[in-house]
Amino acid sequence: EKLEADEDLEAEQLPLIFPSTLSPELRARCSRGLATKEMALREAKCEDSLLIIKRERRTLVGLSRKYNINIGIGTKASSRNRAVLKTIGDKIARATDTYRACRAALESLEPGGAWAGRYKVLKPGDISGPYREEDVPRAVKDPKERRRRKPNKDYTPSWIWLMPARAGSVTRSDS
């Protein structure tokens, strides 16, 4: 978009231009270290986004198990449950969008850089877990049945659950 000099714009309406949005030729003319600072920002945002996704997935699974949430029932409680689940789903979607945008910016700044081993492409199937999906929807009320169920040894969690926490980041056990 081209901004006219005589337009009255609020600061909030001005677009932010990061080095990752510029061509390599223009990026070379940026202030020294600006691209490096953006990379640090984007890596931190990727880390935060993954932590949010994992936290909200644990919340979703925990609520589903504890309250045996079944969306198919047409009661007032079910409507409330749907609203809670939608809120959690919206948070996961926002964090996913943020992660993907930040990863794309990192790819623009330093294709295949050191960050690429840690921040992989986030596919829809990666946003799962921390347990098998079959275990999520219903809690087993009968204690005997719970003891009979064995965890699926073939289950492999998504890479987001296998990533070690970054030094200095707040994890579930810290909070």
Extract long-range pairs of 164-170: CB within 8 Å, 24+ residues apart. 166/47, 169/47, 169/51, 170/51
The pLDDT-based confidence of 173 (bands split at 50, 70, 90) is: very low
**Residue 71 confidence (pLDDT) above 60:** no
Output the average pLDDT for the chain. 81
Q: Model-level pTM?
A: 0.75
**CA distance linking residue 1 with residue 5, whole number of Å:** 13
* pLDDT for residue 175: 46
How large a percentage of the chain has pLDDT more than 90?
43
* pLDDT for residue 13: 85
Q: Are 53 and 92 in contact (CB under 8 A)?
A: yes
**Residue 114 confidence (pLDDT) above 60:** yes
**Residue 151 confidence (pLDDT) above 90:** no
**Residue 69 confidence (pLDDT) above 60:** no
The pLDDT-based confidence of 137 (bands split at 50, 70, 90) is: very low
* pLDDT for residue 174: 45
Quote the tokens at residue 67. 């309250």
